[in-house]
Structure 1
């Protein structure tokens, strides 16, 4: 008889977020660290490397712990589809720690067809809530960007140009420009002196040349 394995699935939306809280919960449940799968990715779909790796290991009778339903995903239709794939096709089980009294797929299985009906209803409701939360989050992000733009704030990576160089960079530019023109130093060396990447270097040098011609 195949031994039942216990897995933990952890997800945060981006690389800057901390997984420690969820990870500690899984370890406290006695789950081996090698069986805890962690994704730092959006919940908009299930194209996530660690989630897919976990599913490949799942066998009938295995158990997956997830902190909250929105950690599984935030897409209404796909949450229901993935839940059913794990619990009915693979015949493994899922426990959502945030609602473990309600969301323990093992309980629904003991109730036969009525259990499937109840599970579908509860899952539809919570999956819908998870998706609506994602939509609210995206809307808040859009509103925040719109407000920042209205205030004239630049979003994203700051644009480098001649005026944004610091005092030392400007001195290095002026002091080494002629040497670069005379080919005493290469463009790569000049860019390194200024601490600039290739594209930024040529953009700023072009601006500097233009300023000399004015």
Structure 2
């Protein structure tokens, strides 16, 4: 199932652009909307409800990474927690950190050769690819945190 999550910080802000963008991505997305600060996940009732609903194979669409979290550490941890549960995350404004992009980057492992020195370099290269992908995710959440 595809879910969409839209959030504004204050009730007087307009959420319609986010909703429109999510529905343009998938018109059948089940939307969760709320007005609540993004500096913490705890206390966001609609987001908490959504997190209880999603299961492996589901997708959550966000207009931007800042809609998921503006706390870099919490956002990064939640990203990997959801991804490891088999939930796909889509960020319309930051597609380079969608979970499919991360998974593709880390799955492109170079096979070992059986030669000790070559395999040491290959192992280091595979780990470097994973670190670079994780760094991109962290950078995106750090940027969202700076926007607070």
TM-score (norm 2): 0.78
Q: Tell me, what secondary structure is at the counterpart of 1:61?
A: coil
- What is the aligned partner in structure 1 of residue 144 from structure 2? 130
* Equivalent of residue 75 in structure 2, options 56, 60, 79: 79
- What is the aligned partner in structure 2 of residue 29 from structure 1? 25
- What is the aligned partner in structure 1 of residue 61 from structure 2? 65
Q: Tell me, what secondary structure is at the counterpart of 1:98?
A: coil
- What is the aligned partner in structure 2 of residue 176 from structure 1? none
Bigger helix share: 1
Matched, 1:121 2:116: no
CA distance in 2 between counterparts of 1:92 and 1:19 reads 24
CA distance in 1 between counterparts of 2:132 and 2:3 reads 25
TM-score (norm 1): 0.55
CA distance in 1 between counterparts of 2:59 and 2:70 reads 21
Aligned-residue offset at 1:120: 1.3
CA distance in 2 between counterparts of 1:41 and 1:65 reads 18
Alignment of 1:5-44 (within 5 A): 5-32=1-28, 35-44=30-39
Aligned-residue offset at 1:29: 2.1
CA distance in 1 between counterparts of 2:75 and 2:12 reads 24
Aligned-residue offset at 1:116: 4.0
Gaps spanning 5+ residues in structure 1: where? 135-214
Gaps spanning 5+ residues in structure 2: where? 108-125
CA distance in 2 between counterparts of 1:41 and 1:8 reads 16
Matched, 1:108 2:102: yes
The count of aligned residue pairs is 127
- Higher normalized contact order (CA 8 Å, seq sep 6+, divided by chain length): 2
